[in-house]
Structure 1
Amino acid sequence: EPNAGHRALAEMEASGVVSGVITQNVDGLHLRAGSSHVIEVHGTMRRVLCLRCGQVFDRRDIAVQIEELNPWITVPENIALAPDGDVLPETTDGFVIPVCTVCEGMLKPDVVFFGEYVPLDRFRAAESLLRSSTALIVAGSSLVVNSGVRLVERARRRGIPLIIVNHEPTRADVWAHATIAAGTSDVLPALQELLR
């Protein structure tokens, strides 16, 4: 569920203080919190796409197909989830994977996996939002992934203020005008109050 940090960003966007959100997260929480100008650099788990023809599907529709194609699968109520929310099945024997209903191609969540490149159009959209901004707040990212670091580097080159809010040190702390070693659910609502 969206937390206080997500909601504070959405409210600051609605009031005109924040011009948009660039996120590496694929969970859709910024949109659910009410942000409207969200660039999901690494994609979203809400969509599935065909690797052959590019057709896009709603993930819920694919989940229904998986259940229909594999009626023998049962998910216990108290199943242990991995840190990323995945479940390790006891077996994959007999599991039927849905294919694209347009071309029968292979389907994949519309997310950038480690080792893949961020689609150029998404990165350009993020750069465009950054170019129109007067500051950059990095909130809740260690900046381990290069796509985030590249955006911070562009902000640094422009000389706009860079504020980093993260519990742990990041790769870009040396460039930051300010670093705040705290959680976004505490800092972003406090920032919202200061800017009212």
Structure 2
Amino acid sequence: MHGIVTQNVDGLHLRAGSTRVVEIHGTMHRVLCLHCGQVFDRRAVAERLEELNPWVRSPESIKLNPDGDVTPASIEGFVIPVCTLCGGMLKPEVVFFGEFVPAARFRAAESVVNAADALLVAGTSLAVNSGIRIIERARRGGIPLVIVNHEPTRADAWADTVIAGGTSPVLSGLADLLA
């Protein structure tokens, strides 16, 4: 296996021990300053957020709507931490809907795909364009494509093989067959 390109932002593959992982949509483990580009560990920013807003530790002080959103009254006085270097605005180091995947990160994903003998796509509907763009690169390169997903995906017509099923049982079964 040459590497993993993932849309996950939770560090799942890194925690599992994978070494060459391209988190194409970024990670929730880091926070980025939109002004100077400084990167911070999310835990440090969360600690600062609690220091600036000690009342958030008290669940009774936050009123939730039935859908889980906070009510506007419960966020009055909320202080948002800023970059400790330049005072700029911080955001999780993730690609939000409508944003572009950084070019260097996309090139890293392409290099994983280009080094592959085959591409296994597992557990995604491929509803976002970044995943489709990766598959399109593989298709243009003549790299065989296998898709494993419960539901149909946007790339099923391009796949050499489509396996309708859950990733855990299917990938475990494939691993057993290869062992």
Q: TM-score range by the shorter chain?
A: over 0.9
Which fold has the larger relative contact order, with Cα–Cα distance below 8 Å and residues 6 or more apart in sequence? 1
Structure 2 CA distance for aligned equivalents of residues 133 and 109 of structure 1:
30
Identify the match of residue 70 of structure 2 among 77, 82, 89.
89
Could you give the per-residue CA deviations for residues 128-180 of structure 1, whole angstroms, max 9, x where no partner exists? 11111010010001011001001111111111110000000000000101111
Q: How does 1:105-120 map to 2 (within 5 A)?
A: 105-120=88-103
Structure 1 CA distance for aligned equivalents of residues 110 and 58 of structure 2:
42
Any idea what SS the aligned residue of 1:72 has? Answer: helix
Structure 2 CA distance for aligned equivalents of residues 36 and 144 of structure 1:
26
Structure 2 CA distance for aligned equivalents of residues 72 and 147 of structure 1:
39
- Which structure has the larger Rg? 2
Structure 2 CA distance for aligned equivalents of residues 188 and 104 of structure 1:
46
> Which residue matches 1:194?
177
TM superposition outliers: structure 1 runs of 4+ over 6 Å: none
Could you give the per-residue CA deviations for residues 8-41 of structure 1, whole angstroms, max 9, x where no partner exists? xxxxxxxxxx211000110101000111110000
Any idea what SS the aligned residue of 1:73 has? Answer: helix
> Which residue matches 1:148?
131
Query: What is the CA distance between 1:74 and its match in structure 2?
Result: 2.8
Report the TM-score when normalising by structure 1. Answer: 0.84
> Which residue matches 2:26?
43
1:53 aligned onto 2:29: no
> Which residue matches 1:66?
49
Any idea what SS the aligned residue of 2:170 has? Answer: helix
Any idea what SS the aligned residue of 2:157 has? Answer: helix
CA contact (8 A) 2:83 2:89 kept: yes
RMSD across aligned C-alpha pairs, in angstroms?
Answer: 1.8
Which 10-residue stretch deviates more, 99-108 or 156-165? 156-165
Identity %: 67
Query: What is the CA distance between 1:188 and its match in structure 2?
Result: 1.0
Any idea what SS the aligned residue of 1:105 has? Answer: coil
Structure 2 CA distance for aligned equivalents of residues 144 and 102 of structure 1:
37
1:175 aligned onto 2:175: no
When the two structures are aligned, how many residues end up with a matched partner? 173
Q: Which runs of 5+ in 1 are unaligned?
A: 1-17, 82-86
Structure 2 CA distance for aligned equivalents of residues 160 and 49 of structure 1:
35
Query: What is the CA distance between 1:92 and its match in structure 2?
Result: 1.2
> Which residue matches 1:15?
none
Instruction: Give the counterpart letter for 1:58 in structure 2.
Output: D
Instruction: Give the counterpart letter for 1:127 in structure 2.
Output: E
Query: What is the CA distance between 1:73 and its match in structure 2?
Result: 1.4
Identify the match of residue 135 of structure 1 among 118, 132, 147.
118
Structure 2 CA distance for aligned equivalents of residues 169 and 111 of structure 1:
26
Structure 1 CA distance for aligned equivalents of residues 106 and 4 of structure 2:
13
CA contact (8 A) 2:50 2:57 kept: no
CA contact (8 A) 2:52 2:81 kept: yes
